[in-house]
Each structure stands twice: as structure tokens, then as C-alpha cells.
Amino acid sequence: MIAPSDEYLVGGGAEERRKFMDMVIAQYDSRYVESLIRYEQSLKQRNALLKQESGFDADVMNVVEEMMSMDADYIYNCRTLFANDFLPLFQELYHKLCDGATEGVSIEYTSHISRGALKQQLESFREKERIVGYTLHGTHRDDLTLLLSNQPLKYEGSQGQRKTYVIAMKLAQFLFLRKRGKGSMPILLLDDIFDKLDAGRVAKIVDYVASDDLGQIFITDTNREHIDQLLARTKKNYKLFYVHEGNITENYGTP
């Protein structure tokens, strides 16, 4: 689904962008889900140990940190592979939607695990983390840095560029899942996404989603002009529903 609320990918914290990765990877890798669950459980245990006023049992801490490190390795490897495969799909889509825009876009995956095994990092920072009372290092601090012209998107770019960036990310998510879904076709929902986009960007998005590559699509919009533009470009059969004061009427259409 692509919706106005997806702005959280730009304006929200790192947790939101981790959820973006996790939601995709979890749909084709059950081991990843298991690793995430175990890691979160171990993280809670470690934080509880760090908060103990009488100090923690070093043997118990070693076991917890070893478990965290093992699961962190798998999570990191999966997220790295996802980021590497996702980036070219996203870059191609962004430039399509911007009619070959000259500004460069990129997404960088950042993680403490890139510095080495988590176990050694946890051991090194035990005393500092005991003072603050929680774990500062690990995959629970991973992030995606969204870049526009080599600058963080949250500080750069027009409203239209930021919105196009997010739409390209979500469409790339669709293509990624279609590729990894072993032949299954996702369903795409566009929920009121055309607001605050200039006519050129709207036309490019409409041209793309009206192609034969995306399968079944649901589109909602309060602007009839946007719907008419899309229907004028499509060669697909469609159903058009009007919702007014809770009443729904249905029309059928053909190209």
C-alpha cells in the first residue's frame, strides 16, 4: 500500500525504516522472523540485567550476549542482501517517475555489525551501558539513510521530491516482493497519493501504474481529475466506485 502516511519513512525515526525492511524480508524468510523474535527477547533480558542495582551475573550476561550476537549476524546479513538488491530497483523507479531527473538518489544501510561481531562490542560497552541502563549497540539501532544528491533527504529536497522518493520506495518494494515471491503477484493499493505533486510527476506515476506490469490495483482519490487521467491512459478493464455520505455506487468501464 502507498499512502500519505508513508511520509514516516522520511520524517520518522530509524525504527520506522527498520520496520520497512523487516516487513519485506519477513514475507519470504521465516528464519529471519525467528531471529528477530529471539533477538528482541535477548535484548530485553540484557537490558534487565543492566538495570540490576546489585550488579549482573557475568555468566548469564555472556550467554545472553552470545545469543544476541548469533541472531544479529543473521539479521544483518539478510538486511544487507535486501539493501543491495533493493537499491537498483528504487533508483530506476525514481528516475522513471521524475522523467530522468538529474539528482542522484541512494539508500545506505547502516549497522553496528558492519564494525564486527556484536559480542565483542557488547562486552566493550558493558560499563557504559550499565550506567545508562539499556543496550546502545546492536541491530535494534540499524537504519536506512535516504540520500538525495548525496545529502540526507529529510534535510533536502522539495515536497514533491520527497513524496516521489517515498512512492518510488514503495513501488520498488512491490517489485522486490514480486521477484522474491516465487511467482505470486502482490496487490497494489494507491491511497490518495497524488496530492501535492506537480502535473508532470502525476502523469509519470499514472503512466507507470497503468502499465501491464503491476497486476490488480486499487486506487482511492478525492480528486476526480486524477482518476480520469489514469483511466484515460489504461487499456485495462476497471470498476469505478463512488462513495458519497456513506453510499456506494458502482460503474463498470472498458478501455
Percentage of residues of the chain with pLDDT beyond 70: 96
State residue 102's pLDDT score: 65
39 band by pLDDT with thresholds 50, 70 and 90: very high
- The average pLDDT across 57-83 equals 96
Task: Enter the CATH code of domain 4-159.
Answer: 1.20.1050.90
pLDDT higher than 60, residue 255: no
Start-end of CATH 1.20.1050.90 domains in the chain: 4-159
What's the average model confidence in pLDDT over 26-44?
A: 96
For residues 82-108, give the mean pLDDT.
89
Pairing of strands 188-191, 217-220: parallel
Mean pLDDT on 11-23: 95
Q: Who has greater pLDDT, 98 or 113?
A: 113
Q: What ranges in 4-144 are assigned the alpha helix state H?
A: 8-11, 14-25, 30-50, 58-97, 118-124, 126-132
